[in-house]
C-alpha cells in the first residue's frame, strides 16, 4: 500500500528562517523525492501555483511549480499573452539559478501563501533564463516568459531570503502594517495549515 503524502504547514511571513539564504541541495540525499512530493501536496492543498522549500521550513534551493490550472483558467484569446512560452509549468526545480533577465519589468498582482489574504502588485522581469536540475539530476537551461517567469522569480526570491513585499517602496509597505500584524497573529485563518512565529 502506497503511503499518502500529507501537506506540510506553511510558515507565516515573519518566521526568521524565511530571511535566510538557502544552500544548494545534495541530489544524493535519500529523502529528496519525498520532499518534492510533500511540496507538491502542500501546494495542491493550498491551491497555489508555486512553492519554495523555505516556505515550509526547509532551507534548501528547491522549488515546485504547478501553474497549469492558471493556464486552463485564462481565456483562450489571452493565453499567448500571459503564457507566451507554453501551457504552464508542472515541475520541480532543484538548485535553480537565474542566469539572465530580459524585457521590461511587468507589473502584476501577486499573492503569497506565507501572507494569506494579501495581494500586492509586484514588477518583475518579463523573461528569465534559468538553469536547474530535476530529481534525476538532469541539468536544464531554458528561457521562461510571462507568468512562468514571474512564478519562478517569485519562488527563487524565497530561496534567497527575499519576500514579495520587499519589492514595494517603504511607503507602500508602511500602508500594509496593519494587515501584516493581523496575518502574523493568525487572524486571517487560511484554509491550509500555518506555523506562526511567536516572539
Under a CB-based contact definition with an 8 Å cutoff, are residues 195 and 12 in contact?
Answer: yes
Identify whether 155 is a catalytic site residue: yes
Closest to 112 measured CA to CA, from 180, 171, 177, 170: 180
Instruction: Please identify which of the residues 40, 110, 145, 155 carries the catalytic annotation.
Output: 155
Facing residues of 140 across strands? Answer: 132
Residue with cell 500594509: 176
Residues 142, 147, 149, CA angle at the centre, nearest 5°? Answer: 35
Cβ–Cβ < 8 Å for 7, 44: yes
Distance between CA atoms of 199 and 192, rounded to whole angstroms? 22
Contact 12, 165 (CB under 8 A): no
Q: How far apart are CA 130 and CA 35, in angstroms?
A: 21
Indicate the SS3 state at residue 121. strand
Active-site residue set: 155
Amino acid at each position: 500500500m502506497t503511503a499518502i503524502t500529507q501537506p506540510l504547514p506553511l510558515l507565516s511571513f515573519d518566521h526568521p528562517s524565511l530571511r535566510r539564504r538557502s544552500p544548494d541541495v545534495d541530489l544524493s540525499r535519500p529523502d529528496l523525492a519525498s520532499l518534492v512530493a510533500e511540496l507538491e501536496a502542500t501546494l495542491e492543498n493550498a491551491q497555489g501555483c508555486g512553492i519554495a522549500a523555505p516556505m515550509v521550513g526547509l532551507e534548501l534551493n528547491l522549488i515546485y511549480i504547478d501553474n497549469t490550472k492558471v493556464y486552463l483558467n485564462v481565456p483562450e484569446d489571452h493565453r499567448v499573452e500571459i503564457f507566451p512560452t507554453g501551457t504552464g509549468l508542472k515541475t520541480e526545480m532543484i538548485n535553480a539559478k537565474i542566469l539572465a533577465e530580459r524585457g521590461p519589468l511587468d507589473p502584476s498582482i501577486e499573492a503569497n501563501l506565507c501572507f494569506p489574504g494579501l495581494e500586492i502588485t509586484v514588477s518583475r522581469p518579463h523573461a528569465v533564463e534559468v538553469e536547474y536540475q530535476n530529481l534525476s539530476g538532469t541539468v536544464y537551461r531554458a528561457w521562461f516568459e510571462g507568468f512562468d517567469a514571474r512564478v519562478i522569480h517569485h519562488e527563487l526570491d524565497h530561496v534567497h531570503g527575499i519576500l514579495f513585499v520587499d519589492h514595494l517602496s517603504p511607503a507602500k509597505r508602511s500602508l500594509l502594517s496593519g494587515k501584516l500584524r493581523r496575518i502574523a497573529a493568525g487572524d486571517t485563518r487560511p484554509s491550509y495549515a500555518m506555523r506562526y512565529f511567536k516572539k
